Amino acid sequence: MQNIKIRLASERVSTSLTFGEEGAPQLFTPGETITDNQRVMSGHGTYMDEENKDVLKASVAGTIERVNQLICVRPIKCRYMGEIGDVVVGRITEVQQKRWKVDTNARLDSVLLISSVNLPGGELRRRSAEDEQMMRKYLQEGDLVSAEVQSVFSDGSLSLHTRSLKYGKLSQGVLVKVPPSLILRRKNHFHNLLCGASVILGNNGLVWIYPTSPEDDSGVGGFTQNLEQVIDKEDRERIARLRNCVLAITASKLMLFDSSIQYAFEESLNYSIKELLTPEVMLDVAFRTRHRLQAYKDS
């Protein structure tokens, strides 16, 4: 029988690493007064009080961002707001005429046009009616894809493209959903970790963890998906450990990037994969990871 641990709410472990520390960001709740300075300007996440026009209040729960006299409140949890050049991981939700609808954890579904994907074999030509009939063979509902944001429409929806061979259909791996604000924006979001696995850190908060495979130069255009390949037990355990490490990092609100994931994986080797799901162990792994990141920053 499986052991199930149940604890009282009063005995829950706080996963915050900034509690009680000096320099920790101040958290504002909706309706809380930010300032009564008449010279400041109201930005996103703020509003002027109706009774007292000089009082600026927060409309969402989050931390303050100040640019000169402009004050904004950055929400703790929110939907993904895409920018051009972002790397995203999404799931195909619908096949339409000359396009696919993709769920990218945004307010609206994103669009992937057939003209914005590489044809199998990397062939460069205009898309024909035959290509439209083969769309469901390329990508169908439920498929996971990695892509890049090409443009942002006026209503906020995103237009994606997969013209590079590093983008395309995702095969075997594990998908982890984290807050998009915890993904550190960098030039490269595809990482082959030293532990023997690879990750795609989507700016939209979707992280794809998969076994590192040798480079394939066949040039298939990113539409291959080998589901019959047998993944070794060591690789599956490594992916499961990485998945739990990502959850431990994000539970303590640490930024997610290749170094933090690698450090967390190394610090988690003292525990079993199952133990990494307990709050005490998650907090310990996150604390040790932050200590190593701070030591590297100070060196």
| Distance from chain centroid for Cα 258 | 13
Token pair 């009082």 is found at 55
pLDDT at site 231: 83
Q: What is the pLDDT of residue 189?
A: 93
Q: What does the block give as tokens for 98?
A: 């000359």
Is the pLDDT score of 19 beyond 50? no
Whether the predicted pLDDT of 280 surpasses 50: yes
pLDDT tens-digit series, residues 223-275: 666 667 788 899 999 999 999 999 999 998 888 999 999 999 999 999 999 99
246/64 Cα distance (integer angstroms): 26
Query: What pTM value is reported for the model?
Result: 0.81
Asked if 244 contacts 276 with a C-beta cutoff of 8 angstroms, the reply is yes
pLDDT tens sequence across 52-75? 878 999 999 888 888 888 998 888
User: pLDDT value at position 217?
Assistant: 42
- H or E segment to which residue 290 belongs: helix 279-298
Distance of CA 56 to the CA centre of its chain: 32
For residue 148, what pLDDT is reported? 94
Which pLDDT belongs to residue 128? 75
Task: Identify the band that residue 27 occupies on the pLDDT scale cut at 50, 70 and 90.
Answer: confident
Query: Token digits for 170?
Result: 């995702």
Per-residue pLDDT tens over the stretch 80-113:
888 899 999 999 999 998 899 999 999 999 999 9
**Which pLDDT band holds residue 44 (cuts at 50, 70, 90)?**
confident
Cα 244 from Cα 220, distance rounded (Å): 33
pLDDT of amino acid 5: 72
Mean pLDDT across the chain: 85
Diameter over CA atoms, the chain: 67
Angle at CA 144, nearest 5°, toward 204 and 276? 65
DSSP string of 131-158, one letter each residue: HHHTHHHHS-TT-EEEEEEEEE-TTS-E
pLDDT of amino acid 122:
60
Alpha helices in 77-229 (DSSP H): 129-133, 135-138
pLDDT at 218: 41
Judge contact between 252 and 17, C-beta under 8 A.
yes
How many residues make up the chain in this entry? 299
Q: What is the pLDDT of residues 105-145, one digit of tens each?
A: 999 999 999 888 877 666 656 777 777 778 888 888 999 99
